[in-house]
Amino acid sequence: MSEQEFKRALGYANSAFDLLKRSSIPPYPQFYELLYTYATGVNPTLNNRINAIFRNGDSPSANLAEALYNEFLKSDVNDRMSNVSERMHARIEAVHEAIDTAMTTANAYSGSLQSASGDLERDISPEAMKTLAERLLSETRRMQDTNRALEQKLEASRDDIASLQRDLDDVRRESLLDPLTKIANRKSFDEGMEAAIAEARENGTPLCLMIVDIDHFKNFNDTYGHQTGDQVLRLVAMTLKSNIKGKDLAARYGGEEFVAILPSTDIEGAVIVAENIRRAIQAKELLKRSTNEKLGRITASFGVAAYQPGDTVSMLIERADRCLYAAKHAGRNRVVSESELEALQVQLPQIQGISAA
């Protein structure tokens, strides 16, 4: 974790504990998670609800906090995963039961054939032969019926298991998406970053990381409201995603910050991508949907860092974060890469203390 990440996380934690204390809510893990999430602003719908409570002069109680936690944070992904797992288990049990029945019937049929073989080795009367033939025919028909039932159950199970696999895929995809912007979430980014660094380390291919922060987002949010703020987040996410390609991954990093993993891209190429995204964001004029009022244009600042041999995920993030802070300090609405950072640091010796507002 970079120093900037640590400071941000600590600020969110302090805000969460302060709210717990002011509202006399027990500092149970779920309530801390609720107010920590509120402090980060990553769930705008939750923030709107809590802000409305504060505007009404109310204070979140433990009961209200529990209701909000159950509504917004108690993910149903695990419940859905458990449901799919139970259905899968039931279907597999049904297949096993059908196979056991078929094996039992097959063993009985095999025993009947062996018995009939022994009878045929001896001289038997025509009547006994007829009885034996009828018994074998009945056993054969029973075996055929059992096989048909097994085939039907296997066919049904194949369809059910294919459906369950699709459900599992849907749940997994949902667990890796940010619910507001519909691009990859932090969990997906963490997995993608680990995989990208492993590939760069193994193959010696270039890799860059871009961090994007919307300029003055808090002021914008406070001025025009959270719904418009949500619109801004979706717009930036859409612009980011539409300007990358191939194995690149765009994700919401937290709050108003976004990231893009750029495999097989050197620092010069990554800067070009970042500049294209910066200009695309700045070119979009924001309208208030309810009134069509023009709210002006938004801008974003970018930090770009390149993978170096021996880098860990946190090391690469920290360098990209420092570039982002330099872009903020240098006036915002610009891209700063590692190649520019040294020159900027001559003028800005204390980049780590800059506010990211």
Convert the pLDDT of each residue in 158-186 to its tens digit.
Answer: 666 666 666 666 666 667 788 888 899 88
**More confident position, 280 or 94:** 280
Contact 250, 260 (CB under 8 A): yes
Residue 322's CB is within 10 A of a number of other CB atoms, namely: 24
What pLDDT, on a 0 to 100 scale, did the predictor assign at position 311? 93
* Residue 354 pLDDT exceeds 50: no
Token pair recorded at residue 132: 């034996």
* Contacts of residue 150, Cβ cutoff 8 Å, sequence gap at least 6: 98, 99, 101, 102
| Highest CATH level, class, for 186-353 | alpha beta
Place of tokens 């809510």: 25
What pLDDT, on a 0 to 100 scale, did the predictor assign at position 78? 57
**More confident position, 307 or 357:** 307
Beta-strand pair 257-263/249-254: antiparallel
Convert the pLDDT of each residue in 197-251 to its tens digit.
Answer: 999 999 999 999 999 999 988 887 778 777 788 888 999 999 999 999 889 999 9
Q: Can you give the chain as a three-state secondary structure string? A: CCHHHHHHHHHHHHHHHHHHHHCCCCCCHHHHHHHHHHHHCCCHHHHHHHHHHHHCCCCCCHHHHHHHHHHHCCCCHHHHHHHHHHHHHHHHHHHHHHHHHHHHHHHHHHHHHHHHHHHHHCCCCHHHHHHHHHHHHHHHHHHHHHHHHHHHHHHHHHHHHHHHHHHHHHHHHHHCECCCCCCECHHHHHHHHHHHHHHHHHHCCCEEEEEEEECCHHHHHHHHCHHHHHHHHHHHHHHHHHCCCCCCEEEEEECCEEEEEEECCCHHHHHHHHHHHHHHHHHCEEEECCCCEEEEECCEEEEEEECCCCCCHHHHHHHHHHHHHHHHHCCCCCEEEHHHHHHHHHHCCCHHHCCCC
Contact 109, 139 (CB under 8 A): yes
Q: Where are the domains of the chain?
A: 3-72, 77-175, 186-353
What pLDDT, on a 0 to 100 scale, did the predictor assign at position 23? 80
Token pair recorded at residue 152: 């039907």
What pLDDT, on a 0 to 100 scale, did the predictor assign at position 173? 66
* Residue 308 pLDDT exceeds 90: yes
User: 44-55 and 29-40 helices cross at what angle (nearest 10)?
Assistant: 100
What pLDDT, on a 0 to 100 scale, did the predictor assign at position 89? 67
Convert the pLDDT of each residue in 238-262 to its tens digit.
Answer: 999 999 988 999 999 988 899 999 9
Identify the top-confidence range among 40-44, 109-113, 242-246, 283-287.
242-246
Place of tokens 């208030």: 288
Distance CA 178, CA 255 (A): 11
pLDDT band at 140 (very low <50, low <70, confident <90, very high): confident
Distance CA 1, CA 5 (A): 6
pLDDT band at 81 (very low <50, low <70, confident <90, very high): low
What pLDDT, on a 0 to 100 scale, did the predictor assign at position 179? 80
Distance CA 286, CA 271 (A): 25
